[in-house]
Amino acid sequence: MRASAVLGLIGAGGIGDMLSSYMRYRQWSVIRVLLIDVLRARIATHPAVRERFADIIAENLNE
């Protein structure tokens, strides 16, 4: 996810391409939403976060 954003900024397409075009036209509110979505996706796919959610779900199922 992070790599695609960086590659897009240098012209390889993807999310970074969207960020680059929105920056060109100074649409800061759209840029903010895109960056927040990238961060949310990165946090959600982080192994430690997934492990913690699995623990929470397991605790709730055992109750």
Tens-place pLDDT, residues 3-59? 666 665 665 667 777 888 898 999 999 999 988 988 888 888 888 888 888 888 888
pLDDT-based confidence at residue 1 (cuts at 50, 70, 90): low
Q: Quick one: tokens of 26?
A: 């100074």
SS3 63: coil
Query: So where are the chain's domains?
Result: 2-62
Q: What is the pTM of this model?
A: 0.59
Q: How far is it, in rounded angstroms, from Cα 28 to Cα 30?
A: 5
Q: In sequence order, which residues have a C-beta less than 8 Å from that of residue 1 and are 6 or more positions away?
A: 15, 38, 41, 42, 45
